[in-house]
Amino acid sequence: MLRLLIAAQHYEDLRVERVLAISRVFLALMSLAAWLLRLGTAAPRYQLGLIFLLAYLVASVALLLRIELGGSPGRKFAIGAQISDVAWPAVLCLWFETPGSVFFSLFLFAIIAAAFRWGFGETLATALVSAALLLFQALMLRQAPQLFPHWHLASVASSRLLLRCVFLLMAGTLVGFLAETEKQLRSEIFLSNHLLSLARIGSKFSVALQNVVAELGRVFHGDSAYEVVAQSSTGRAFKWEIPELERSSIGMQELSPADKKQELLAGYPHTFYMRRGRNEHCSIIALDEEGRRLDAAQTKGLPMPLADLHSVLVVGHEMGTDWHGRFVLRNARLGRHRERELRFAQTVLRQVAPALYSVYLFRAFRSRAEATERARVARELHDTAVQSLISIEMQMDVLRRSGIDSTTAAEVGRIQGLLQQEVLNLRELMQSMRPVDIGPHQFLDFVAGLVERFSRDTGIAVRFISELQEITLPASTCREMARVVQESLVNIRKHSGAQSAVVRFGSQNGSLKLVINDDGRGFPFSGRFSLGDLDSHRYGPTVIKERVRAVGGNMVIESTPGHGSKLEITIPKKGFESYGY
């Protein structure tokens, strides 16, 4: 069975060992008190038993001090303490067996300690070892009078010995089962709370999803994982994928309508675990939306949904009323209780999915609020600062033409030019602050209007040429590319000194291509540089590089100082790549 180790909490081992150490000291004191109150016992054996119990008490106190002073104990300490807990009652029962002996109860403490530390397997193993020690001692006692005539070993009746062995095995089985169930429940609660903590409000949605998917992948020992979600109202679907769980880097892409059905595994059960066996035969355990197991007739004939996999774990879930999706873990490994673990995975995602949806809604609402505030500030700038600057510039023009001397007229003209430049800067700032809410159908018209308005405001002759009638990029990529064009035009006005420029949009080798060239002074460097070269040399506009990288594109800058520059951006069409959601 899959064991979710609650020991992943660093404080848990220390807490467990401290409780056991205190209990061990208390048990040693009670055993010593019971031995001191015993009457009618031969003096030599009574004194020897007192020495053994005092030694047991000293050893128990030493273990407690080791924990209190030595910090968090490791696995070796736990194993050593467990061996000690079994060895002491074995020695005491060998030497001091009496009617109603208190030493046999120490075996029960060893069994409880194993259950407290670990689970069913270790607890049952402790019970078996304890019973085996009792049987071994019985064999020794039969040979002791001949081999060791001067030793005074205790003896026990065969019926009592057998009863004690059976009792130890029953206690180990029952306590181990209860401990395993309790630990599993605590671990499941801990994992659910941990996953919910990863989906914190305010986190970036892709980061929260990455953390949750990676953690689930590690719990079920998968190689890689991905999450597919679809929006019912719009029909759009997105896929977030972690190629390697150890690295936990996530990439997002919007799925085309043709890929949506395949990625959502249409026709497969809501939740299932499929494993490839011999002769390519696949066994499957499946659950419906309510967690009920589907019979074999309902899953018969389903092939492995993903090629070249040994196994796959798929869990369906809903995110709000508009989103539904699947969590897919490649080469997952479940234990013997696969149905229980599959139901647990379904329950966890049912709890975590609404939290992730809340993160998504929070990010969406915050982005909308920020866009609204930026639009309000842009309107305020237009109605106040821009209008005031234009009015001042007009007054300066009137003053310059009023017949003042040439020196003053030149200074007024210079100030008038500065005012014109500031008006342009404010308009560009307002344009960048306004939210760009466009999709693939509005993209070309938006860029054409942007270029026309820029050419009219600045006097730089800019042409927009499109070789395409329509594009199929997702809305997020369209917004980023519109900002790239906007930022490029601003850079041309501020830094290039160009008289003309061309913005061209087309396709090449299955990719969309945006080219912006001008006849200005160019960049300070000379040559042709790719995006990697620009990063390594720290060349090129940082904002544009970040936007190109955000949509999974590539960028090349060709510059000849004094003779202009060319910016080439390519965006893959296949798969609608888009990262950094």
If pLDDT is split at 50, 70 and 90, which confidence band does 170 have? very high
Band the pLDDT of 99: cuts 50, 70, 90: very low
Tens of pLDDT along 107-160? 889 999 998 888 888 899 999 998 888 787 777 666 555 544 444 445 555 667
Evaluate if pTM is beyond 0.75: no
Give the CA distances from residue 375 to residues 381, 427, 431, 439, in Å, rounded to whole numbers and listed in that order: 10, 13, 9, 19
166 pLDDT more than 80: yes
pLDDT tens-place string over residues 6-63: 444 445 678 888 889 999 999 889 888 877 776 445 556 677 778 888 898 999 999 9
Q: In 509-577, at which residue ranges do the beta strands (DSSP E only) sit?
A: 511-518, 527-530, 554-559, 565-572
Q: Average pLDDT of the chain?
A: 80
User: Which of 178, 156, 5, 161 minimizes the C-alpha distance to 75?
Assistant: 5
| Over residues 318-341, mean pLDDT | 86
Asked if the model's pLDDT at residue 311 lies above 50, the reply is yes
Calculate mean pLDDT across residues 81-86: 89
**Domains recognised in the chain with CATH numbers:** 6-195 (no CATH), 202-363 (3.30.450.40), 437-581 (3.30.565.10)
Question: C-alpha 481: how far from its chain's center?
Answer: 29
Model confidence at 578: pLDDT above 50 = no
Following DSSP, what letter does each residue of 397-460 receive, concatenated?
HHHHTS---HHHHHHHHHHHHHHHHHHHHHHHHHHHHS-----TTTHHHHHHHHHHHHHHHH--
- pLDDT tens-digit profile of 364-385? 777 777 767 766 776 776 667 7
Edge-first strand order for the sheet with 554-559 is: 461-466, 500-508, 511-518, 565-572, 554-559, 527-530
235 Cβ contact list (under 8 Å, min separation 6)? 257, 260
pLDDT in tens, 556-570: 999 888 888 999 998
Q: Tell which wins on pLDDT, 487 or 109.
A: 109
Structure letter (DSSP) for residue 268: S
3-class SS at 9?
A: coil
Residue 344 scores a pLDDT above 60: yes
Query: What mean pLDDT comes out for the span 228-246?
Result: 84
CA-nearest of 132, 106, 127 to 176 is: 127
pLDDT surpasses 60 at 205: yes
- What proportion of the chain, given as a percentage, has pLDDT over 70? 85
User: What is the structure's pLDDT at 39?
Assistant: 46
Pick from 2, 3, 219, 1: which is nearest to 117 by CA? 3
